Amino acid sequence: MKISVKGPARDLAAFFLLGARRRRHFRRATSAPPAAGAMNRLAEKLHPGRLELAVESVRFETPDTRTFRLTRHGGGELPYFRAGQYLSLKPDIAGNRITRPYSITSLPENALDPGFYEITIRKRDGGFFTGHVWETWEAGSRIESSGPLGWFGYEPLRDAKNLVFLAGGCGITPFKPMAADILGSFPDVTILLLYGITDRGSIIFKDDLSAIEEAYPARFRVVYVDSGPAASGCDDRRVFETGFIDRRIIARYVSSPRDATFYVCGPPAMHRLVESEVGSFGLAPGRIRREAAGDTIDVAAEPGYPAEKHGRQYRLTVHSAGGICTIPARAAESVLQSLERAGLAPPSECRSGECGYCRSKLLSGKIYGINNHHGRRMADAGFGYFHPCSSYPLSDLEISVPVDPFVRRT
């Protein structure tokens, strides 16, 4: 649009005529859909709904943790991303189509040249998905995935210049690329990583973190916080504390917590502990950034969950794709898990209540929503919408779920 200034009187007259001119343009406009322009093509390239990936190689990080290097099936660049983002993988396991979010552990520039992402997965005892990965993923395996997603990244306009990363176990995964990328891009930023571990012999990314410390000795420091039986001290030049990441340990290394931005990623129990400890410093809103990292493993441990409901089973009446059916739903599982088991899952990406892709409507019944990351908009909550990935049935439910546009239905 051309904008020119012609003086107060003529500009005022032009302003009053704006509405009439706009209505004239609307009358003349064609009703045909616009052709996909350059911006649409760029948006699709940067934010594809789906990616077809292939495993290029696999390497061990620890005995129970592997890093998978993924390339675009058929070759070529991958969408650029921001360090801290994740991929939502879409495996079909024994007829169940599920989703699992995993942080990208390679650097953003690796997506362009030579064109790969890496994800790092720790095997869980009895884990439905990780068991499948361990048995079937090898070089050449094909994997469907979302494009890069999530908001767990550094924002120079929003965040402080002193960053404190609080990681627990495999919650370290987003922090490795974030540390390297932020330190390389912002010379005035310093980062302290407090890394909760349980076994000093099995630390994910130990050597990578040491390499980043050596590259930025004045700006990056790693302190391991060991809740296993070993005593505190230094080992191989690495600093160890004993116990859990709490206010005492944070205060020992962060001289002015109110001048820092804290990032938290780890298991739910660590989120609960760390957020109350960090919150006790009286930080300004927005100074704690969280990555919830997928399903809640034990809803009974969540604050306010009615323990007497835990072992129950309910009926879920589901309106989907123009039909209605009734399926069983366990109180201990999220509504999304019950829908996936029945092949009725709505689209989902984060599995922790944040992205909103699984947004569905609660027509009747009662649910428990995970407080920390039940990320509904206020209007959604008011009009009965909920996120099945972070909601658990407390009674029989009747719900309406959207159809995943990427799932072919027969």
Q: Which residues bind ligand FES (CB under 6 A)?
A: 348-351, 353-358, 387, 389
Q: If residue 212 lies in a helix (H) or strand (E), which one and from where to where? A: helix 206-215
Half-sphere exposure of 155 (CA within 13 A, CB side): 12
Measured from the CB of residue 125, what is the shortest distance to ligand FES in angstroms?
25
Measured from the CB of residue 101, what is the shortest distance to ligand FES in angstroms?
8
Measured from the CB of residue 108, what is the shortest distance to ligand FES in angstroms?
22
Among 213, 183, 177, CA closest to 105: 177
Measured from the CB of residue 346, what is the shortest distance to ligand FES in angstroms?
8
- Closest CB to ligand FES among 88 and 261? 88
Q: How far is 344 from 85, CA to CA, in rounded Å?
A: 27
**Residue 167 burial (10 A CB sphere; 0-12, 13-18, 19+):** buried
Measured from the CB of residue 356, what is the shortest distance to ligand FES in angstroms?
5
For residue 97, what are its two tokens? 């189509």
Measured from the CB of residue 381, what is the shortest distance to ligand FES in angstroms?
13
18: CB partners within 8 A, 6+ apart: none
Among 105, 143, 100, CA closest to 124: 100
Measured from the CB of residue 296, what is the shortest distance to ligand FES in angstroms?
12
CB 189 within 8 A of CB 261: no
The number of angstroms, rounded, from the C-alpha of 354 to the middle of its chain's C-alpha atoms is 8
- Closest CB to ligand FES among 72 and 319? 319
Q: How far is 301 from 143, CA to CA, in rounded Å?
A: 33
Measured from the CB of residue 99, what is the shortest distance to ligand FES in angstroms?
7
- β-pairing, 220-226 vs 238-242, is parallel
- Closest CB to ligand FES among 66 and 351? 351
95: CB partners within 8 A, 6+ apart: 343
- Closest CB to ligand FES among 115 and 402? 402
- Closest CB to ligand FES among 318 and 350? 350
For 106-142, letters b (16+ CB in 10 Å) and e give bbbebbeeeebbbbbbbbeeeeebbebbeeebeeeee
- Closest CB to ligand FES among 270 and 336? 336
Peptide bond into 393 cis (omega under 30): no
- Closest CB to ligand FES among 102 and 116? 102
